[in-house]
Amino acid sequence: MKVKTIISDNQPVLIEGLKQVLGTDHQFEFLVTACNLDVNWPDVLGHYQPDLVIMELKTPDADSLQIIRQLRKINPGLRICVLTRFEQTSLPPQVNKAGAQGLLLKTAALEELKEGIRNILADKAYFPYTLEKARAHSDEGSNTGEPLLTKREVQILQLISKAMSNKQIASQLFISYQTVSVHRKNIMRKLGVSNTAGLVRAAYDHCLV
């Protein structure tokens, strides 16, 4: 299936990296056009007629969200995936309300990026990096400081808590050893620990397992 795609970001290296990642997908053939964030979106959408827009969210403010609303207004059937470096519990519902179907951190693993885009193309919402518990706290206006882990990170953390090695986790989840290592480092960073024992303890403290 061919998917006409626009990648909108001000970092050429990131754009080229995304192109390579999308090029390895066997389910879809991504026909990619790159552009910066300051383009005239009505002209761009009218000319390229994309199926999917992958765009950077520079700042979680009203102006950035307005771009998403503009895209949705121009093309109600457009699929929109937002990339961001901001780990804010309140951001996913804001982005979703503006009209995007998915939100991914720029630090997400490649498999997670692919999974997110496949879900979006299947018309499924994809907001993985906020835990359901943290999202509920956000809806209530609570500021509990819960760690923001992706669904994949929670899954890996649960397996770590079962004393499984990176190699065993990689085998069970059908991902690479290197990907598990990256996830483990990200989890440790987010939970503020430096070893496996601290990981497991923090997981129980935060009711993540």
| 3-state secondary structure string across the chain | CEEEEEEECCCHHHHHHHHHHHHCCCCCEEEEEEECCCCCHHHHHHHHCCCEEEEECCCCCHHHHHHHHHHHHHCCCCEEEEEECCCCCCHHHHHHHHCCCEEEECCCCHHHHHHHHHHHHCCCCECCCCCHHHHHHHHCCCCCCCCCCCHHHHHHHHHHCCCCCHHHHHHHHCCCHHHHHHHHHHHHHHHCCCCHHHHHHHHHHCCCC
Mean pLDDT calculated for residue range 123-133: 67
Q: What is the mean pLDDT of the chain?
A: 83
pLDDT in tens, 46-91: 999 999 999 988 765 667 788 999 999 999 999 999 998 877 666 7
Q: Which residue has the higher pLDDT, 128 or 102?
A: 102
pLDDT in tens, 180-209: 999 999 888 877 788 888 888 877 766 666
pLDDT at 149: 74
pLDDT at 30: 95
The proportion of the chain whose per-residue pLDDT surpasses 70, expressed as a percent, equals 84
List, in order of start, the domains of the chain with CATH numbers.
Answer: 2-139 (3.40.50.2300), 151-205 (1.10.10.10)
Determine which of 13-17, 18-22, 148-152 has the lowest per-residue pLDDT on average. 148-152
User: Which residue's entry shows tokens 């795609």?
Assistant: 5
Mean pLDDT calculated for residue range 139-146: 43
* Whole-angstrom distance, CA of residue 209 vs CA of residue 202: 10
Contact 44, 72 (CB under 8 A): no
Q: Which of 100, 118, 98, 89 is nearest to 190 (CA)?
A: 89
Does position 42 have pLDDT exceeding 90, yes or no?
yes
pLDDT at 129: 57
Does position 121 have pLDDT exceeding 60, yes or no?
yes
pLDDT at 143: 43
pLDDT at 176: 92
Contact 170, 110 (CB under 8 A): no
